[in-house]
Chains A and B, each alone.
Chain A
Amino acid sequence: MDTEQAAARRHQAKDRDQFERQIVSATPVDPPTGALPKTPTIAELTSLRVALDARHTDTLGRVDGLLREQKDLTGGIADELNALHKDGDALQAIERADADATGLIAQIRGRLTRRSRMLERQSVATRLQEQYRSVHTTLRKAGAFADELRLCAVELAQEVDRLHGDVEDSLSAAVEVEARMEQLSTRLAVLNARNDPTELRECDRVRFELADLKTAAGLHNAKAHLCVQEVEPARTLRDTVHGLHQEMAHYVLQASASVEGSGRRIQTLGLAADAPLVISELQDGLAQLDAAMSVTEAYLEQAHDMLTRVLPQLSQQIRSQGSRAALDLEQGLAAIEAARESKASDEVLKAAALAEVELIGADIDVRVDDAE
């Protein structure tokens, strides 16, 4: 009887086995089509945050330096233009005095002071030419500086793009990991339903892999989150430097055109023999210098505003965004770490229990929890 019952039980068990095998084969766990994306480690994420912070601090310092240099340059140009203008006015006054000396006394006085006027005219004209060269050189420096600003803006734009790329990569890695997790969860559900003690090893392997993947997904998401938070400060810096470049380039273009125009007149001043022509040339040259001056003054005001208001605000904004990102990352990583530790201790406990069961050979029903 016992033997018959045992045989019947064995037969039922065989049937059940066959049935479950069919189910399992109907819902196979596809092996991963390729290796899953490399999971960043906690240490890597922490150092990424530190590196991004350092990069922003460095860039802020660079922008601050660029702004100060910009202010010095434009301030220098303004001073040089002022000096140029003053000498232009002085030369104009000398030429006008010569032209207006029509009365007898004026002519006598004119003859007496001729030599000193000539010397004065000489030195003013020479100074004018030297100052023109100097202001032209400074404007070329400003042009090189505008290129430096543009370079900085392009590099920041590339960083923003790289951060976006990192966010996209991390999110897509997380999606890939989660898809794999879904497959494994299904597999685990089937194994649980079958409840076959011979498959306990497989069960544990799947459960452990699931736990590992959950950590990986968490880390990928944490990286995406970190990069998302870094995008905004990088973008703000990029836009600031881009704005600086646009203003500087516009300024250099306008001022250069005016200065080169006045330079053309200044260089030919000495050739004009008669005073009215000199005065007219000077007037035109000075009018062009006026245009350069007003552009410079407007630009200096903008640069001052940028240095005293916009940049401190920007620094503050970036610092607070950086601290928030750091805090979020620390909390996120701590949670992942805690989850991993608790999962690991579960695994240890269960492995010990299974070993015990195998040791006593008891035919007991071991329940396996869903890893989720």
Chain B
Amino acid sequence: MSETALQLPDARAALYVRALRAAVHALAPDADHVSALAADTHLHALDPAVSGPLLLPAVLDPGTGLPSSGWMDRVRAEREALHGTSPVTESRVARIATADPVLGARLSGRRNLMAWLGDRPLLPDLVVAGSVLRQERDHLLVQLTVDRRLDGAGWVRLRAEVHNPKIGGAAISRITRSGQVDVKPGLAELMARHTISPLPGVYGILTEVAGLQVRRMSRGCIGPFWFPGGPVPDHAPDWAHRGLVLHQSLAVLGAKVRQDGHVDPWLPPVLGERAPEGFGVYRSRRFAVSPAVEQAVRAWSHDRVGVAQVVVFGGR
């Protein structure tokens, strides 16, 4: 948590962001992960081709190689800061662009950024939300979701499917007509606090402490992102230094997971982990890789877990 953030040279920021964006696009994360659209919007906003030098310097989280929370936050803060203000006119920017190209680029960047962001969703630093999945006469199925950008962990989505929660109880205050579930602050804080705790532990907290009936939990995580010259763990395979690799992991704990499965070649199975009675735990990991390391990643993954979930991005 206290590691010093890494700063990319400004000239490399655009390449970095585009590579990461392409990797996210290739992985096409599903609903168990943070929104692909939000990630795409956020990353494109960081691209100096859009925002110029406005959001630089490009600072990376040394734990994951993803953009640091500070760098990502600048996008949200910039949008909120400029809300309701009018950008400097194009003609005014053009008049000073020759005299001060850096300022001209910043002002143009701000204009472009606002135009790009509009009302598009961004990756939140932390959001706890709830929604109704199914509502029948005698059955209410609610989904609680924590989306969190965490330095050292990645972009994480923790989900819990809760059956028949008591409305107005300790966990959920009400359900709106549009199907939005208002989560009580205490539960929101609890879930946020345990975004990256082991799933059986979170299950225990939700069922025993919050008194909820949970049938399925999942944690999807995007990251780490390895690239030549970027932060790569010491014990990572050699190929991690030779190409671009974005991880996308998923852990599911559910009543429908009949048999435990572990097809995550990067993280070993958790020793002594015990799923609740009637539940199974399944872990998997996919990789978006550049062509240079595709074969190496496939071979390594096969070797470790017998399968390789690899998608390639970038031209050959």
Contact = CB atoms under 8 A, between A and B. Distances in A.
Contacts of B77: 133, 136-137, 139-140
Given A137-B77, A140-B77, A270 B110 contact: no
B5 interface: yes
B151 A267 contact: yes
A260 B100 contact: no
Contacts of B158: none
A136 B75 CA distance: 11
Interface residues of A, number: 35
A122 B186 contact: yes
Given A133-B77, A144-B82, A147-B107, A267 B126 contact: yes
Interface string B263-296: 0000000000000000000000000000000000
A140 B81 contact: yes
Contact of A260 (B73, B81, B92, B186): B73
Interface in B96-119: 96, 99-100, 103, 106-107, 110
B94 to A, nearest CB: 12
A144 B81 contact: yes
Interface residues of B, number: 39
Contacts of B110: 144, 147
A123 B76 CA distance: 23
A264 B189 contact: no
Interface string B80-92: 1110010010001
B69 interface: yes
A150 interface: yes
B186 to A, nearest CB: 7
Contacts of B249: none
Nearest to B148: A267
Contacts of A136: 73-74, 77
A261 B69 CA distance: 9
A141 interface: yes
A264 B69 contact: yes
Interface stretch (A81-89, A154-162, A202-210, A312-320): A154-162
A281 interface: yes
A140 B79 CA distance: 9
Interface of B: 1-2, 5, 59, 68-70, 73-74, 76-78, 80-82, 85, 88, 92, 95-96, 99-100, 103, 106-107, 110, 125-126, 149-152, 185-186, 189, 192-193, 195-196
19 contacts: A122-B189, A126-B189, A129-B126, A133-B73, A133-B77, A140-B74, A140-B78, A140-B80, A140-B81, A144-B82, A158-B99, A260-B59, A260-B68, A260-B73, A265-B2, A270-B192, A271-B193, A271-B195, A284-B2
